[in-house]
Amino acid sequence: MDYIRSLDADRWLFHADVLVDRAHVVMLAERGIIRADEAAAILKCLRGLNEDVFVERELPAYEDLHTAIESTIIREIGEDIGGRMHTARSRNDEVATCIRLALREELLQLMKELNELRRALMDKAAENIETVMPGYTHLQHAQPTTLAHHCLAHADSFARDFARLIDAYGRVNVSPLGAAAFAATGFPIDRARTARLLGFDSVLENSMDAVSTRDFVIETVSCYANLMTNLSRLAEELILWCSSEFGFLIPPEEYTTGSSIMPQKRNPDYAELVRARTGSVYGCLVSILSICKALPYSYNRDLQEVTPNLLRATRLTIDSVTVMRGYVEKSEFNKERMAYEAQIGFTAATELADTIVRETGLPFRTAYRIVARMAKEQPDRSDILDIIDRFSVDITGKRISELGLTLDRVKEALDTATNIDRRAVTGGPARKEVMRMLKYRKDALERDEALRTAKQEHVKQCLNELEQEVERIIQSSVCV
Ligand code: ARG
């Protein structure tokens, strides 16, 4: 029997399953499919189930969670009443509904954590508008930028992850309940009512589709995979930056560990595990895709194997976001070192070429060739204008100073702060533009968080309504 079970996933679904049972029983009573007193007895018994005791003692004795709950109810109140709970449904629609409910809660939690991470990155950006650092391409010094610009780049990728998750949430939060095995039921059930009582936004109509599909899982775990990819890139940078080669970052004490042999070490293990667990989440996605591929409609037991992979991917993703948020919040940057490195490697080369274009009217490619000679031959720069002149004569036949370039302009071009400040077009690292982006993104974050909270509140309200209905049915049968 062990072979056909997925105990961890069933434990995860316990809370959802009790809710599904309650909503189903309330609806059965409302539609007159079972009597109110029968419903009351079942609901009372469901209420009496203690999660810890049930999960520990009952669950391991049965084929799955759904069978365990029903069998426990029947044992406690007899089959004559307890045996009516499963009228007009199947484990197929039941489990699909449970997964959607449990996943919905996790998604709301994940989006909350993700917004906290976005906030942490924006706070770091706000503190570091003036913190100059080298920007990299090919992991080589490229052009100077600011830490604020860099933090906002990561925040933007997480904003898109939020957008993907909230979109996926809309396709998770639909109710398959009432589809029964796949062909619905001849009983006059009300699918919209159970959907409403459970806080779903709508009914997943076609009963065969409703029990067969796990595309909402594939979509969700794809969102995780994307999010983890973005997270791993941030993790990787934080790992690199705290190496002595970079020396940009002092990693927070609580996110590092020591070495058992090298007393001096502080290793960025948490960020390394985020990087590694990205691979584990991909693994879950590939497992789920492979399990679902070419499965004939409608339900097959193969689908059960999807759930543990979803659960694992969900846990890994939420925990990784939480870790990275703390890591970002508590990281301290070595601003002097970053500023120093920002000018190493001739990072002002592009601005110097741009300045030559602006001052002399030479084509960019010609200016580029002049500056490229400087980069290659690395002359002593004390006489910089003469040097540029020399290369300019070689390349254009003319002295650059005759074309209008002055020493002051060259010095400006070589200055890191000027380099950054000139990049003031939309999206650039100039102070003014970064401030504008930051403000816009803070507002967008507030809107996103309000959207998430509204969804959470809606669910809460519906589940309250369910609780009241349960209470009403139990109370009315006490009065009889
Ligand atoms: N434990 C099963 C799952 O997770 C529940 C559905 C079982 N249905 C069936 N027809 N065997 O998929």
380-433 tens-digit pLDDT = 777 888 899 999 999 999 998 899 999 999 999 999 999 999 999 999 999 999
Position 191 pLDDT exceeds 80: yes
pLDDT band at 253 (very low <50, low <70, confident <90, very high): confident
In this structure, the answer to whether residues 203 and 308 fall within a common structural domain is: yes
The count of domains in the chain is 3
Catalytic residue, candidates 138, 244, 260, 382:
138
What is the average pLDDT value for the chain, to the nearest integer? 95
Quick one: pLDDT at residue 382?
77
In this structure, the answer to whether residues 57 and 100 fall within a common structural domain is: no
Alpha-carbon separation of residue 311 from 135, 159, 237, 314 (angstroms) = 38, 23, 28, 5
- The answer to whether residue 456 sits within a structural domain is no
Instruction: Identify whether 149 is a catalytic site residue.
Output: no
Instruction: Identify whether 24 is a catalytic site residue.
Output: no
Ligand 1 pocket check for 97: Cβ under 6 Å: no
- For 275-313, letters b (16+ CB in 10 Å) and e give bebbeebbbbbebbbebbeeeeebbeeebbbbbbbbbbb
In this structure, the answer to whether residues 182 and 236 fall within a common structural domain is: yes
> β-strand 174-175 against 249-250: which pairing, if any?
unpaired
Contacts of 408 (CB under 8 A, 6+ apart): none
Q: Which residue has the tokens 């484990």?
A: 91
287-335 tens-digit pLDDT = 999 999 999 999 999 999 999 999 999 999 999 999 999 999 999 999 9
Whether a cis peptide bond, with omega within 30° of 0, leads into 298 is yes
Task: Give the helix, strand, coil percentages of the chain, each rounded to 5.
Answer: 70, 5, 25
Backbone angles phi, psi at 295, to 5 degrees: -70, 130
Quick one: pLDDT at residue 480?
59
Atom number of ligand 1 nearest to Cα 9: 4
- The answer to whether residue 206 sits within a structural domain is yes
- The answer to whether residue 431 sits within a structural domain is no
Atom number of ligand 1 nearest to Cα 63: 1
In this structure, the answer to whether residues 362 and 381 fall within a common structural domain is: yes
Given a contact cutoff of 8 angstroms between Cβ atoms, the answer to whether 4 and 63 are in contact is: yes
Ligand 1 pocket check for 92: Cβ under 6 Å: yes
> Hey, how many other C-beta atoms are within 10 angstroms of the C-beta on 142?
15
What gap in Å lies between CA 311 and CA 12, rounded to an integer? 8
Half-sphere CA count of 289, side-chain side, radius 13 A = 11
Quick one: pLDDT at residue 255?
87
CA 224 – ligand 1 centroid, Å: 25
> Hey, how many other C-beta atoms are within 10 angstroms of the C-beta on 140?
9
Ligand 1 pocket check for 362: Cβ under 6 Å: no
CA 138 – ligand 1 centroid, Å: 50
In this structure, the answer to whether residues 110 and 83 fall within a common structural domain is: no
In this structure, the answer to whether residues 15 and 76 fall within a common structural domain is: yes
Q: Which residue has the tokens 């049965």?
A: 62
> Of 285, 313, 340, which marks where a domain is finished?
340
In this structure, the answer to whether residues 238 and 153 fall within a common structural domain is: yes
In this structure, the answer to whether residues 278 and 317 fall within a common structural domain is: yes
Given a contact cutoff of 8 angstroms between Cβ atoms, the answer to whether 168 and 220 are in contact is: yes
What does the angle CA 407 – CA 409 – CA 414 come to, to the nearest 5 degrees? Answer: 95
Residue 76, domain CATH = 1.10.275.10
> Virtual CA dihedral for 204, 210, 216, 218, nearest 10 degrees?
-160
Ligand 1 pocket check for 299: Cβ under 6 Å: yes
Given a contact cutoff of 8 angstroms between Cβ atoms, the answer to whether 227 and 114 are in contact is: yes
Nearest to 318 by CA among 5, 12, 7, 51: 12
What gap in Å lies between CA 336 and CA 416, rounded to an integer? 13
Residue whose CA lies nearest to ligand 1 atom number 2: 304
Between 263 and 202, residue with greater pLDDT? 202
Residue whose CA lies nearest to ligand 1 atom number 3: 304
CA 91 – ligand 1 centroid, Å: 6
- The answer to whether residue 419 sits within a structural domain is no
How far is Cα of residue 231 from the mean position of the Cα atoms in its chain?
8
CA 286 – ligand 1 centroid, Å: 21
What gap in Å lies between CA 436 and CA 401, rounded to an integer? 38
Q: Taking phi first (over 0 means left), then psi (-120 to 50 degrees means alpha), and beta for anything else, what does residue 456 get?
A: alpha
Quick one: pLDDT at residue 479?
62
Give the structural domain span for 158.
92-121+145-340
- Both tokens of 184, joined, read 């619905």
100-127 tens-digit pLDDT = 999 999 999 999 999 999 999 999 999 9
- The answer to whether residue 47 sits within a structural domain is yes
Helix or strand run (H / E) with residue 136:
strand 132-137
Ligand 1 pocket check for 95: Cβ under 6 Å: yes
Residue 319, domain CATH = 1.20.200.10
| E strands, 216-374, in order | 249-250, 332-333
In this structure, the answer to whether residues 361 and 392 fall within a common structural domain is: yes
The rounded percent of the chain whose pLDDT value lies above 70 is 100
144-190 tens-digit pLDDT = 999 999 999 999 999 999 999 999 999 999 999 999 999 999 999 99
Quick one: pLDDT at residue 290?
98
In this structure, the answer to whether residues 97 and 175 fall within a common structural domain is: yes
CA 36 – ligand 1 centroid, Å: 29
DSSP state of 4: G
- The answer to whether residue 136 sits within a structural domain is no
In this structure, the answer to whether residues 238 and 308 fall within a common structural domain is: yes
Ligand 1 pocket check for 91: Cβ under 6 Å: yes
Position 366 pLDDT exceeds 70: yes
CA 304 – ligand 1 centroid, Å: 6
Ligand 1 pocket check for 307: Cβ under 6 Å: yes
Task: Identify the three-state secondary structure at position 132.
Answer: strand
CA 95 – ligand 1 centroid, Å: 7
Position 357 pLDDT exceeds 70: yes
Ligand 1 pocket check for 70: Cβ under 6 Å: no
Q: What mean pLDDT do residues 69-75 have?
A: 97
> β-strand 332-333 against 249-250: which pairing, if any?
antiparallel
Nearest to 166 by CA among 462, 459, 455: 455
Catalytic residue, candidates 202, 259, 290, 458:
259
Quick one: pLDDT at residue 263?
75
Atom number of ligand 1 nearest to Cα 91: 6
In this structure, the answer to whether residues 69 and 108 fall within a common structural domain is: no
